[in-house]
Amino acid sequence: MSTGARAASIAVHAEALQRELDWLEVMLDLRFKQHFDHDSTVATMPPPPALPEASALAEVVTQYALGPRERLVLALACAPHLRPAALDLFFVKNRNFDRGFSEFGGGKAVRHGGFLPTGETAVFLVAGDDLAARIAVLELFDAQHAFARGGLVQLDGEVGGEPQLSGNLQVSAEALQRLQTGVWHKPDYNAQFPAKRISSALGWDDLILAPEVMDEIAIVQSWLRVGPELMEDWGLDKAVRPGYRCLFYGPPGTGKTLTATLLGQGIGMDVYRIDLSMVVSKYIGETEKNLARVFDQAQSRRWILFFDEADALFGKRSATNNSNDRYANQEVAYLLQRVEDFPGMVILASNLRGNIDDAFSRRFQSMIYFPMPDAAQRLRLWRSLLCRPERLASTIDLLALAEQHELSGGAMVNVVRFAVLLAERHGHAQLTAEHLRQGLARELRKEGRTA
């Protein structure tokens, strides 16, 4: 997109947000007048504004069938980011107690100078002091509501024993990015989101696996393409749980991660690899919170969740000999429930099938073994990696390499990378058999073997 076209697109999104925030301010004035003047006749919600059809806000309103209440709460959640001064009204003090009004909820942030709304603020704005209307507003924060399903707005659930509505009203970073630019923001690895989107420049032609493994992968591809529709067509949708769970197991470097990546890329779905070092916490309850952040964001998006080296989280549960064992087993039980309830695809990768807890094993729809490549597959891998014959010396015998050295595809990549660096260091324009021999010896030593 050219600079001019991008500027025009942003202008459309900004115009839609401008109209929505203007409407929010009108509703705030009406609600405050009703509250302080005790005049219920002025509390009628004015109709929401018409939006430019090409704007992201208009798309979101249509996609999730957002009514006036939802639009007002969404505008309120966006206001601290886009028009914080609109919420300064809430800083008014109750002169009787020299403090803010309890019914407004919200509060002041540590660094941000404006007012931060909570669920209480949203309920006050939408329903005032009408108890029945306030109760009805609670459905906006239900897990089945469009706010949660679309990953648009949520309440910060970490309120301890305080009322649920005291949680901060938060618009997701992804939704805010989309409303401003029309593009879904893709979260990346950080302390609050312990997962990273993975991709590859390789394609299916570069994945060299046994035919029976490719047949198993084809079944997974079929589910990604038409699985839910197929179950409905055959009348199985009521009996079959939503989502699909796979276990990839086998030696390191045999293509498990690449397969997961290609499954997503082939169907236009993002693949997120869970960083287990960031998920597992020594503090009780933190592991569940870290995982919940990932599952909650993935719930409304077409993501594949990929747990590499899954033994660390999905391993066998231990006997309950002390409190640490009990909490560890609680974490496994929590994982089992979240994986089972996840409506998308979850892929677990492990070096050994036996390391995975039996409770998980029974719930996998596919368990695919990735063996070490045989000699014929190794030859194809060598030829795929060393694809420029003019850069290979005549002394290199790829057939002999394939037959004599049992290596995984990942190990071959390491060998070739080292050999190329060695050739560059020596000023050679071609790889020689000696370069590859040294690379092989180095890789085999890492595995505790000799050439």
Q: Are residues 332 and 415 in the same domain?
A: no
Q: How far is CA 166 from the centre of its chain?
A: 26
Q: Are residues 222 and 346 in the same domain?
A: yes
**Mean pLDDT of all residues belonging to the chain:** 86
Tally the residues of the chain. Answer: 451
169 confidence band (pLDDT: 50, 70, 90): very high
Closest by CA to 175, choosing from 184, 165, 164, is 184
Instruction: For residue 100, count CB atoms less than 10 angstroms from its CB and return exposed for 0-12, middle for 13-18, buried for 19 or more.
Output: middle
413 in a domain, yes or no?
yes
Pick 129 or 450 by higher pLDDT.
129
Q: Are residues 141 and 265 in the same domain?
A: no
Closest by CA to 17, choosing from 59, 45, 47, is 59
Structure tokens at 367: 């368990």
31 in a domain, yes or no?
yes
Let me know the angle formed at the C-alpha of 104 by 100 and 109, rounded to the nearest 5 degrees.
70
Of 154, 181, 208, the one marking the end of a domain is 181
Q: Are residues 214 and 306 in the same domain?
A: yes
- The tens digit of pLDDT for each residue in 272-288 reads 998 666 666 544 566 67
**Would you say the pTM of this structure is higher than 0.85?**
no
Of 140, 159, 181, the one marking the end of a domain is 181
190 in a domain, yes or no?
no
Q: Are residues 379 and 360 in the same domain?
A: no
Share of the chain above pLDDT 90, in %: 54
Instruction: For residue 442, count CB atoms less than 10 angstroms from its CB and return exposed for 0-12, middle for 13-18, buried for 19 or more.
Output: middle
196 confidence band (pLDDT: 50, 70, 90): confident
Would you say residue 194 has pLDDT above 70? Answer: yes
208 in a domain, yes or no?
yes
Would you say residue 448 has pLDDT above 60? Answer: yes
Instruction: Report the alpha-carbon distance of residue 187 to residue 193 in Å, rounded.
Output: 8
Residue 249 Cα distances to 264, 330, 362, 367, angstroms: 18, 24, 15, 8
Q: Strand 270-274 vs strand 303-307: parallel, antiparallel, or unpaired?
A: parallel
The predicted structure's pLDDT at residue 378: 95
Structure tokens at 62: 């249509």
Instruction: Report the alpha-carbon distance of residue 221 to residue 227 in Å, rounded.
Output: 9
- The tens digit of pLDDT for each residue in 418-429 reads 999 999 999 999
The predicted structure's pLDDT at residue 433: 94
Q: Are residues 89 and 122 in the same domain?
A: yes
Instruction: Report the alpha-carbon distance of residue 146 to residue 355 in Å, rounded.
Output: 39
For residue 407, the domain's CATH number is: 1.10.8.60
Of 125, 155, 181, the one marking the end of a domain is 181
The predicted structure's pLDDT at residue 235: 87
Q: Are residues 283 and 382 in the same domain?
A: no
Structure tokens at 161: 């024993």
- Domains contained in the chain, number: 3
- For residue 390, give the amino acid letter: E
The predicted structure's pLDDT at residue 219: 95
Q: Name residue, tokens 């704005």.
A: 125
Q: What are the φ/ψ torsions at residue 267 (nearest 5 degrees)?
A: -115, 5
- The tens digit of pLDDT for each residue in 353-404 reads 777 767 677 788 999 999 999 999 999 999 999 999 999 999 999 999 999 9
Instruction: Report the alpha-carbon distance of residue 376 to residue 313 in Å, rounded.
Output: 36
Query: Highest mean pLDDT range out of 174-178, 279-283, 327-331?
Result: 174-178
Q: Are residues 343 and 200 in the same domain?
A: yes
Q: Are residues 336 and 223 in the same domain?
A: yes
CB 66 within 8 A of CB 119: no
Structure tokens at 248: 């990839």
For residue 300, the domain's CATH number is: 3.40.50.300
Mean pLDDT of 295-302: 78
Q: Are residues 324 and 381 in the same domain?
A: no
Structure tokens at 30: 């009406």
Residue 317: which domain range?
A: 195-369
189 in a domain, yes or no?
no
- The tens digit of pLDDT for each residue in 131-150 reads 998 999 999 998 789 898 88
- For residue 67, give the amino acid letter: G
Instruction: Report the alpha-carbon distance of residue 339 to residue 316 in Å, rounded.
Output: 16
In sequence order, which residues have a C-beta less than 8 Å from that of residue 289 and are 6 or more positions away? 158
- For residue 217, give the amino acid letter: I
- The tens digit of pLDDT for each residue in 230-244 reads 888 888 888 888 889
Pick 35 or 281 by higher pLDDT.
35
Q: Are residues 132 and 231 in the same domain?
A: no
188 in a domain, yes or no?
no
The predicted structure's pLDDT at residue 434: 94
3 confidence band (pLDDT: 50, 70, 90): confident
CB 82 within 8 A of CB 127: no
Q: Are residues 347 and 410 in the same domain?
A: no
Q: Name residue, tokens 């003090």.
A: 93
187 in a domain, yes or no?
no
Count of alpha carbons within 13 Å of 3, Cβ hemisphere only? 0
Instruction: Report the alpha-carbon distance of residue 104 to residue 72 in Å, rounded.
Output: 16
400 in a domain, yes or no?
yes
